[in-house]
Amino acid sequence: MELNLVLERLRQLKAADLNALAIYSDLQTQVEDKEILVLLSRLVKDEARHLAMEKEIFSLLRHGAKV
């Protein structure tokens, strides 16, 4: 797969993950049920982890990793 295409797809996903993180974080302030809050908290952490991993992939690609 071409490097540019990989980068473009990653940028699309980064925006989607940022959006998901924002929505889950907002929902945490609006929901009161404890079980749902626990799940939302895990989702927030998941999204944050996605973003961190995407950032790591970007860094590897910039430093010359082949696709």
Stretch that binds another protein, among 5-13, 33-41, 48-56, 59-67 (CB under 8 A): 5-13
Residues 19-38 that bind another protein (CB under 8 A): 19, 22-23, 26
Q: How far is the CB of 55 from another protein (least distance, A)?
A: 13
Residue 4 structure tokens: 């540019």
CB 20 within 8 A of CB 47: yes
CB 43 within 8 A of CB 26: no
Using the rule CB under 8 A, is 52 a contact of another protein?
A: no
How far is 23 from 31, CA to CA, in rounded Å?
12
Which residues lie near another protein (CB under 8 A)? 4-5, 8-9, 11-12, 14-16, 18-19, 22-23, 26
